[in-house]
Amino acid sequence: MSEITALLHAGLLVADLARARAFYESVVGLQLFPNRPELPYPGEWYDLGGGQQLHLMGLPNPDAGSIRPEHGGRDRHIALAVKNMDALKARLDTAGVKYSVSKSGRAALFCRDPDANTLEFVEVG
C-alpha cells in the first residue's frame, strides 16, 4: 500500500509569465506564495491552502503544437475547489474565457488558461 498522503503541488508550463499571472491572479483569484526560491527559470508559486500549491514555470512547452480536445474533461487537467461557482463564472465571462460545464452533472466547469493548460473547478460547500 502506498504511503502517499497528499498532492503537494501541480506544475504548469507557461510561455508568457506576465500573461499567466494576470489570468491566475485576476481571473482565477489566486494569491502568490511569497517564498519561491531562486530557480534557473522564471516562475511563480501560488498558495492553494492546506499546504498545496500551483507552480507556474516559464519554460518551453514540448506539447505546444498538439491538438487539445474541445472539452477539458477529456484532457489532462488539474481540479481546483471553488466556493462560489457563480462568482468564478462572472470573472471568466468578463475576461472572455470560454468554459464548458462538466458532463458528469456535478457543479463543475472546465476552462483553459492562456497556454491551453486545462483547469477544472469544482464547487464545494
CATH number at residue 32: 3.10.180.10
Q: Which pLDDT tens digit goes with each residue over 46-71?
A: 999 999 999 999 999 998 889 999 88
The total of structural domains in the chain comes to 1
Give the domain extent around 80. 9-60+68-123
> Position 70: which residue type?
E
In a domain, 90, yes or no: yes
For residues 2 and 13, give the distance between their C-alpha atoms in angstroms, rounded to a whole number.
Answer: 28
Q: Look at residue 82 and give its three-state secondary structure.
A: strand
Phi, psi for residue 110 in degrees, rounded to 5 = -125, 140
The pTM of this model reads: 0.92
In a domain, 3, yes or no: no
Q: Which pLDDT tens digit goes with each residue over 80-90?
A: 999 999 999 99
Contact in structure between 116 and 101 (CB atoms under 8 Å): no
In a domain, 100, yes or no: yes
